[in-house]
Amino acid sequence: MTKYSISEKGLFKGVEIGTDKIVLSHLQYADDTIFIGEWSRANVLSLRNLLSCFEWASGLKVNFHKNCLYGIGVSHDDVALMANRLGCQVGSLPFTYLGIELEENLGIDFKSSFIRNIGNGRSTLFWEERWCGGIKLRELFPRLYRLEINKEAVIADRVHFSSRSLQYNWEWRRNPSGRTSGELESLQAMLSQFQFDGNRPDGWTWSLGSNSSLSVKQLTRIIDEKYFADLHSVRCPLCDDDLESVGHSLIFCKDAMEIWDKVFAWWGLGNMSNLSLNEICRDNCSASMTKFGKKLE
């Protein structure tokens, strides 16, 4: 309840996910909790205060020194500074949680999976982006890049294309010569083989998607296949017939059911196989305790 309260009041800011901007602030499994939020000093202080309030309210001790703080897209020094304020350890990626190795990018090379799809060339940097041959042109033609006056030029600044031919608009500090002129010939030969489309804007294609576009459904499938193809680690360790949960492990697992059937028969409560966990607790607990007390007498 405290966690929801400080989130609603903006004291702890989670991260927004997807186009619907769903806010994710924490994940819980059994007695483990992972807090997820924006990287800021205010967030760390709010988290520290939240955990301190939990200690005071519950009487339980939070072992800050056993917890870890992880930062994504921030320097190690920043993580160390925040961890010192929180009183916890500095964590490093990847790390293992519930048998799953978690990485900064989920182990999927997202950066390389997006490929520039060139249309009119007005929003793609000519030298600085990977759009032709999978490598930046400044890395492929370093001598020409040093001669370039405007290193932030877009494709349309350097290449004018029509249905018949390409025209180049170079701006050099001096005319290329020697090896540099050889680079220019190679560059223009490469560009002549490239297919431009001046009738549409530049865009992106996603190499991991079946239809070249990014979708939550396809991304979910990829993550499931990568991490959850083998569900054995999250299935009941006793019967392996269902996923492990509180209700299944304590009540409905066939091994647990054998024990509970004997206990319920001893208490005279009949068969419990068709009851839900809530029904068992609501309808049978008081009766069972009464009968159990009489048997002890």
Q: How far apart are CA 202 and CA 155, in angstroms?
A: 10
Q: For the chain, how many helices (H) and strands (E)?
A: 13, 12
Q: How far apart are CA 169 and CA 172, in angstroms?
A: 10
Q: How far apart are CA 191 and CA 233, in angstroms?
A: 51
Residue 164 burial (CB count, 10 A): 5
Helix (H, G, I), strand (E, B) or coil at 291: helix
Going by pLDDT thresholds of 50, 70 and 90, the confidence category of residue 274 is low
Q: How far apart are CA 295 and CA 274, in angstroms?
A: 26
pTM over 0.75: no
Position with higher pLDDT, 287 vs 245: 245
C-alpha torsion angle, residues 60, 63, 68, 74 (rounded to 10): 90
4-45 pLDDT, tens digit per residue, is: 555 566 678 887 765 556 677 877 766 778 888 888 888 888
DSSP state of 120: S
Q: Return all residues near 3 (Cβ < 8 A) that are at least 6 apart.
A: 12, 25, 26, 50
The secondary element (H helix, E strand) that includes residue 100 is strand 100-102
Q: What is the mean pLDDT of residues 185-190?
A: 92
The secondary element (H helix, E strand) that includes residue 32 is strand 32-35
Phi-psi label, residue 106: left if phi above 0, alpha if psi -120 to 50, beta otherwise: left
User: Considering only 113-117, 168-172, 282-286, 291-295, which range has the smallest mean pLDDT?
Assistant: 291-295
Under 8 Å between Cβ of 190 and 134: no
Q: Which amino acid is at 239?
A: C
Does the bond joining 94 to the residue before it have cis omega, within 30 degrees of 0?
Answer: yes
195-214 pLDDT, tens digit per residue, is: 888 788 888 777 766 666 55
Q: Is residue 2 scored above 90 in pLDDT?
A: no
Q: Using alpha carbons only, how large is the chain's radius of gyration in Å?
A: 31
DSSP β-bridge partners for residue 24: 15
Per-residue burial over 75-93, b if 16 or more Cβ lie within 10 Å, else e, is eeeebeebbeebebebeee
Q: What is the mean pLDDT of residues 205-228?
A: 63
Q: How far apart are CA 140 and CA 133, in angstroms?
A: 10
Q: What is the mean pLDDT of residues 111-135?
A: 83
